[in-house]
């Protein structure tokens, strides 16, 4: 693996990708071209010397809250959503393998014929060897979002920050696609996010990040190469918590 020529701003990151990010404009499922682009972006960061872990949502396949709203048992609906995240994790791992990146899927729900089970020491060992770690099945528990899972895993991995990769270049006071003059923030405190109900992550994830002094970075995944800019400190992003 190539070593950076100068010290990176972030040397270990956990990147949270939504399931919707993987479906592109198809409206459902997995767009292999989009997944290949995301794998390429993550590969660039890994090759630059940053240790990378990811958590992928499952909303492109099944969302537990939506199932519960339709009358399903909430716990069962959440388990179905967790299985969807494993499918996405395997798709991302496959795309990375095609470009020569060594990536490992670790699931919070044991499924040894499909992928490795999550063990913290094993995940840390993979990271130390330059492998990209993809966490699947959330926390393994219903009633927790993948935002919370991403924050938890980032803390367990000793990450410098958790990156919420979105379709916009930071946090705004309102949806900038609907409100053109919405205010954009470069920096927010955890309390700002909770008090203003900005919807960056769910409240449990923000509170967990706050209690463990973990910075949350919100940046765009739509711009190719933006993750590489992020680890070099040049990406346009919103930082929540410590700068």
Residues in contact with 70: Cβ distance below 8 Å, sequence separation at least 6, in sequence order: none
Phi and psi at residue 217, to the nearest 5°: -115, 125
Q: How far apart are CA 62 and CA 98, in angstroms?
A: 26
3-state secondary structure string across the chain: CCCCCCCCCCCEEEEEECHHHHHCCCCCCCCHHHHHHHHHHHHHHHHCCCEEEEEECCCCCCCHHHHHHCCCCHHHHHHHHHHHHHHHHHHHHHHHHHCCCCEEEEECCCCCCCCEECCHHHHHHHHHCCCEEEEECCCCCCCCCHHHHHHHHHHHCCCCEEEEEECCCCEECCCCCCCCCCCEECEECHHHHHHHCCCCCCHHHHHHHHHCCCCEEEEECCCCCHHHHHHCCCCCEEEECCC
Residue 141: predicted pLDDT: 96
Instruction: Name the one residue in this structure whose structure tokens are 């404009």.
Output: 25
2-16, 40-54, 176-190, 206-220: the lowest-pLDDT one:
2-16
Instruction: Name the one residue in this structure whose structure tokens are 């010397």.
Output: 49
Torsional sign, CA 18, 19, 22, 27: negative
Position 155 pLDDT exceeds 90: yes
> What is the pLDDT confidence band of residue 243, given thresholds at 50, 70 and 90?
low
| Mean pLDDT estimate for the chain | 92
CATH 3.40.1160.10 fits 12-240, yes or no: yes
Residue 68: predicted pLDDT: 79
Question: Tokens standing for 175?
Answer: 């949806």
Q: Which of these, 86, 40, 97, 46, lies nearest to 62 by C-alpha position?
A: 86
Residues present in the chain in total: 243
pLDDT digits (tens, 9 = 90+) for 192-231: 999 998 988 999 999 999 999 999 999 999 888 999 999 9
Position 9 pLDDT exceeds 50: yes
Torsional sign, CA 95, 133, 239, 203: positive
pLDDT digits (tens, 9 = 90+) for 131-152: 999 999 999 999 999 999 999 9
19-33, 156-170, 202-216: the lowest-pLDDT one:
19-33
pLDDT digits (tens, 9 = 90+) for 47-71: 999 999 999 999 999 877 777 778 8
Residue 224: predicted pLDDT: 86
């Amino acid at each position: 693996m190539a070593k950076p020529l100068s010290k990176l701003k972030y040397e270990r990151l956990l990147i949270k990708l939504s399931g919707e990010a993987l479906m592109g404009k198809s409206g459902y499922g997995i767009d292999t071209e989009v997944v290949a682009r995301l794998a390429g972006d993550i590969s660039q960061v890994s090759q630059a010397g940053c240790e990378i872990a990811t958590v992928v949502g499952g909303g492109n396949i099944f969302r537990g809250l939506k199932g519960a709203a339709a009358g399903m048992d909430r716990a069962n609906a959440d388990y179905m959503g967790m299985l969807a995240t494993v499918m996405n994790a395997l798709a991302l791992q496959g795309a990375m393998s095609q470009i020569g990146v060594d990536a490992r899927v670790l699931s919070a729900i044991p499924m040894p014929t499909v992928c490795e089970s999550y063990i913290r020491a094993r995940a840390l060992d993979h990271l130390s060897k330059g492998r990209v770690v993809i966490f699947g099945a959330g926390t393994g528990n219903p009633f927790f979002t993948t935002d919370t899972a991403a924050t938890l895993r980032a803390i367990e991995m000793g990450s410098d920050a958790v990156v919420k990769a979105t379709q916009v270049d930071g946090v705004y006071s309102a949806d900038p696609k609907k409100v053109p003059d919405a205010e954009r923030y470069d920096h927010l405190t955890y309390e700002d996010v909770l008090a203003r109900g900005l919807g960056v992550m769910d409240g449990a994830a923000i509170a967990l990040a706050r209690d463990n002094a973990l910075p949350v970075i919100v940046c765009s995944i739509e711009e190719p190469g933006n993750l590489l800019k992020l680890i070099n400190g040049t990406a346009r992003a919103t930082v929540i918590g410590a700068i």
